Structure 1
């Protein structure tokens, strides 16, 4: 009887083992800690943008093309300059030079008018004025230096400061700032400003003050100056009310010289 019981217990144990096999103990693989401090936050490395997609390339590409074209075609009364001058003289008569002297800052009048109308610009008014000042400094320094180094005679032979056109550079600098400040609101602000700037370039040729190469290069210098002013600017005042309490309006001084007046109302 005892042998039967022992035999049954042994059979039961064998069956239990068949249905519940013992699991083999696998030793865990040790973790590699040799590079644990290489990237503590497990943050993926930023992908560096290619040069052709960088802000610098986008800022200088178009101005560089305009300046390069102007420099290559700056041959005085020859080539495309001669053809363009002959065409302009046949189609148009000279106008008062005082008109294009005033029109060069007309885009700034547009900037002031739109701001006074309550349209919010990209930057507050303090920073916009700082960008204008910086752009003007870059444009005046670069165009004056190139004029002195180049010594290109004007079409009317009044002096040797033809290349590049300072009037055109001034107009396109102002137009570029207007476009940058309000392009998020409407592209028409920029279109209007660039139309004015193009009219200045045309008038400089109509009045026989500049060659075609001068005005094309001048447009490049103006646009480049604006882009460099924005790239190098750091907005330190944000969009606080102090900037919005500064007003700009066009003004004519006693001798008929156009300009801009500033007004400031302290905020509470």
Structure 2
């Protein structure tokens, strides 16, 4: 591997490694987790569930933009296959980590809090959106 191809991954991999090590070994965030859990249990926030839908906005945007005729890197069939494969790999990696780390949810219901599935799905869709439309984006740098 060339040096220039590895450099962009050093900081993200370091941060992911630190976060995982902190969750598994260091337990530094335990007090914050307990404080949040206490607030959730004590004050029972109203659950509106909008995050259950907005996590899919970037991925759906990829398909919607294609159907609207915006030029992308791949056709609709290839995009659908990429989305399916990305979703499968995301589900495997996130659930594997969730059940390895076994971090308690703030409300104390289960031990599958980390990493966030909603956040992972949103970022997976955002990366797919970026890769498909980065050459046609009016905001491209």
Output the TM-score relative to the length of structure 1: 0.42
Unaligned runs of 5+ in 2: none
Unaligned runs of 5+ in 1: 1-48, 190-268
* CA deviation vs aligned residue, 1:8-33 (integer Å, no higher than 9, x gap): xxxxxxxxxxxxxxxxxxxxxxxxxx
Aligned to 1:139: 90
Q: 1:119 aligns with which of 51, 55, 70?
A: 70
Aligned to 1:77: 30
Q: 1:101 aligns with which of 52, 55, 58?
A: 52
Q: 1:67 aligns with which of 16, 22, 34?
A: 16
Bigger relative contact order (CA 8 A; separation at least 6): 2
CA contact (8 A) 1:179 1:187 kept: no
Larger % of strand: which?
1
Q: 2:123 aligns with which of 172, 179, 191?
A: 172
Aligned to 1:186: 137
Larger % of helix: which?
2
CA RMSD for the aligned pairs?
A: 3.0
Partner Cα distance (2:134, 2:46) in 1: 32
Which of the pair has more CA radius of gyration? 1
* CA deviation vs aligned residue, 1:129-175 (integer Å, no higher than 9, x gap): 11111111111111111111111111221111111111111110011
